[in-house]
Amino acid sequence: MNVLKIITMFSFLACSVHAQETTVRLALGEVQEYALQHAPRAKLIQNTFDREVAESKAALQWRNPEFEFEAERLSNDLDDEQETAFMLGKDVTMPWVHAQHKATQKEHLSATGAKRDAELLFLMAELKSSYVELQLTNMKRERLGRLATLVDDMSDYAADQYQEGLISDLHQQLLHLSLMNIRGSLNSLNQQHRQFTDHFKTDLGLSEKQNMILTTPIDFIPHNPAGIESALKNLEQNPEYQAHVHRQQSLKKKIALEKMSILPEMHVAGGYKEVGEDFKGYVIGLSLPLPIFDRNRPKIEQGRIDYEAAVIDFEVYRQQLNRTINRHRQSIAEYASFFQTNGGTFEGLDDTMENTVFAFREGFLDIGDLVNGIMVYQETIENYYEYLAGYYRIVFALEALIGETLISL
């Protein structure tokens, strides 16, 4: 019997450990750290940067030398002669060209690294917004579920009143329609919740067998206006801004590289040679390209065109950045004003609904007032949570744009 208890206990512990291993509990403030380690898109962004680093190293890598062996035998009626040569040669990039190529690649990698950081910031903003939206959908489901239970009770109460002749059939049908609308909305929310959950788990890199529990309830958290002002003073340090700056510098250095590449390299060779039995010695060779026909003008012109396009793109980006920041700041201020003004009213929404039901039961309100109260409650829930999702969506987007945390999670 004791052995059976021990086996049962260990089986229970094993199941508990397995359940813990397949369940991920995630707070909103932990999304970024978890996503950087597991999210497929974060890994793809990093892989893209790693590939650029590998290509840069390959472009700067020294080329292998060449080994050449020649043997020649000549003969006539009087004599035979044999000629043998061993040669080792290598294409050598001009030192100034190599130095410029290295500087160009350095700027290119700086641009690529800044672009990677910017893409990760926008991905984190998207994932945090998805967390908020998913959690708000769940909270909305819970609120509407309680409302459906309440209205269902009221529907039974109205049916009793109808049997007693206290209300009309029309009033009873209105209450049934309200319940139908609530249940329809609840079914839609359930579908949305499943869809959002699947997408969010995929974006985070969770498998189908892993469960996910979101632990942060969503409520209004005021942003930090000083953080915006501080970030605007150092906007040039923003990763996306830096990506544009380094890209321009890289293209500018590439033009200089193409100009130097009129004489890009030389071929150096040396070896040992024997002619017959009497002549032996060393051989040294040097060859240079003569830039008579090809002065690399097409590539130089192409580099200038690319640089001018980058300058225009940077100017457009700066204008859009300023407009987007100003638009987001205004939207955040409007959202904050709304929540600060109406947050207390929303917190008392359940009490208001309960008081409405109580007043109906006590005869202070008729069934039309009850139906209107139910409609107002449902619309308030949906609108308030939609506003809350919009607020966080814009806050997280602005954080990604300016590279500054605006709310403490």
Q: How far is CA 342 from CA 112, 216, 335, 337, 345, in A?
A: 45, 22, 11, 8, 5
Residue of 246, 206, 17 whose CA lies nearest to 116: 246
Reported as a pLDDT band with limits 50, 70 and 90, residue 14 is: very low
> Which pLDDT score, from 0 to 100, does residue 4 have?
40
At residue 164, does pLDDT exceed 60? yes
> Which pLDDT score, from 0 to 100, does residue 5 have?
47
At residue 241, does pLDDT exceed 50? yes
Supply the DSSP symbol for 65. P
At residue 279, does pLDDT exceed 90? no
Least confident of 161-165, 267-271, 343-347: 161-165
> Which pLDDT score, from 0 to 100, does residue 11 have?
46
At residue 297, does pLDDT exceed 90? no
Instruction: Give the H/E segment covering residue 270.
Output: strand 265-275
What is the chain's mean pLDDT, rounded? Answer: 87
CA distance 279 to 269: 20
User: Across-strand partners of 213?
Assistant: 25
Tokens representing 170 are 């029309």
CATH 1.10.760.10 fits 37-73+84-402, yes or no: no
Instruction: Give the H/E segment covering residue 89.
Output: strand 80-93
Q: How far is CA 308 from CA 88, 148, 252, 314, in A?
A: 44, 62, 10, 10
Give percent above pLDDT 70 in the chain.
94
Task: Write out pLDDT tens, residues 330-357.
Answer: 999 999 999 999 988 888 888 998 898 8
245's CB contacts (< 8 A; 6+ apart) are 111, 236, 314
Cross-sheet strand order for the sheet of 80-93: 66-75, 80-93, 265-275, 279-287
- Which residue bears the tokens 């097409």? 298
377's CB contacts (< 8 A; 6+ apart) are 147, 349, 352, 353
At residue 17, does pLDDT exceed 60? no
At residue 32, does pLDDT exceed 50? yes
> Which pLDDT score, from 0 to 100, does residue 77 have?
64
Reported as a pLDDT band with limits 50, 70 and 90, residue 10 is: very low
Helix (H, G, I), strand (E, B) or coil at 291: coil
Reported as a pLDDT band with limits 50, 70 and 90, residue 132 is: very high
Supply the DSSP symbol for 62. P
At residue 246, does pLDDT exceed 80? yes
